[in-house]
Structure 1
């Protein structure tokens, strides 16, 4: 080996070491950044499920089951006008079941609106809140003994239930995918460490 080539080999080795160290740093930094973004995304999805879409979904499904049960109890298949003979039971169900569920959903929509998935407030959510406000006026009249109005003057938005179900299901799917990919990465890391030991 030529004495003049020794410094060149050492310089090349030093340069290669620096390049490998920088590459390792950038790969680790990029990986850490990607994992942090995935964790942040999972945190947001969890928050949307736990604080907004989950409560809306549960209250909506419970309300729908209760309403179908009331209709069945009255021998009805659809929402017909409320007869005088049904008014006592209707007011009982409205005061003890339907309005408390409506209040939960209204509070979630108003207080947690920052968690909606869309850029703008979906119209069906605004329509739902308006529907509930209309019922509050009806219940206030009932409290004074005036039963001339039996339902909210603002109708139930049929898109509301569809929106809540779809959004909840989509977020649960996204949550599962994010958790699965995070679990898979941890498992691969652990498996790699076990093999190297």
Structure 2
């Protein structure tokens, strides 16, 4: 080997080392950024499920099951009027089951509205809150001995239950996908041990 070529070989080796180090740094930086974005996305999905769509879903399912149970027990359809003979039981169910569940859903919608998936508040959520407000007026009348009104003057928004079920299912699917992706498993293996 020629003495003049030694510095060139050393320069090439140094340049190659710098390129490899820079490439390693870039790959690490990009993968760390991707993992952080995925973690942030999973955190948001979890927050939406735990604080908004999960409570809405559970309260809605429980309310629907209870309502169908009451109708079945009375041999009625949803649109049948509430008879005078059924009023005492209807008031009991409204005060002990339906309104407490409505209050939970109303509170979630009002206090956690920042967690909705859409950019704008879905109309069915606004319609639900309005429905509940209407029932609060009815229950106040009942408390004063006026039983003429038996239901909220603002009807139940039928798309509410569909929206809640669809949104909850979509978020659960997204959560599962995020948690079971190869990138997430790698992140969990690397960083979960450190905490």
TM over 0.5: yes
For 1:79 and 1:99, the matched residues in 2 are separated by: 19
For 1:108 and 1:79, the matched residues in 2 are separated by: 28
Hey, what does 1:149 align to over in structure 2?
A: 149
Hey, what does 1:71 align to over in structure 2?
A: 71
Structure 2 vs 1, CA of residues 160 and 36 (structure 1 numbering), >3 Å: closer, same or farther? same
- Is contact 1:71-1:79 (8 Å) kept? no
Cα displacement (A) at 1:174: 0.3
Count of aligned pairs between the two proteins: 189
Aligned counterparts, 1:84-103, within 5 A = 84-103=84-103
Three-state SS of the structure 1 residue aligned to 2:152 is coil
- Is contact 2:38-2:184 (8 Å) kept? no
For 1:23 and 1:143, the matched residues in 2 are separated by: 73
TM-score (norm 1): 0.93
Unaligned runs of 5+ in 1: 190-197
For 2:15 and 2:112, the matched residues in 1 are separated by: 55
Three-state SS of the structure 1 residue aligned to 2:148 is coil
Three-state SS of the structure 2 residue aligned to 1:97 is helix
TM-score (norm 2): 0.94
Aligned counterparts, 1:157-176, within 5 A = 157-176=157-176
For 1:141 and 1:187, the matched residues in 2 are separated by: 56
For 2:117 and 2:188, the matched residues in 1 are separated by: 31
Hey, what does 1:185 align to over in structure 2?
A: 186
> What is the alpha-carbon root mean square deviation over aligned residues?
1.3
For 2:10 and 2:154, the matched residues in 1 are separated by: 82
Cα displacement (A) at 1:78: 3.0
Unaligned runs of 5+ in 2: 191-195
Query: What per-residue deviation string (whole Å, max 9, x for no partner) do you get for residues 78-113 of structure 1?
Result: 331111111110000000000000000000000000
Hey, what does 1:40 align to over in structure 2?
A: 40
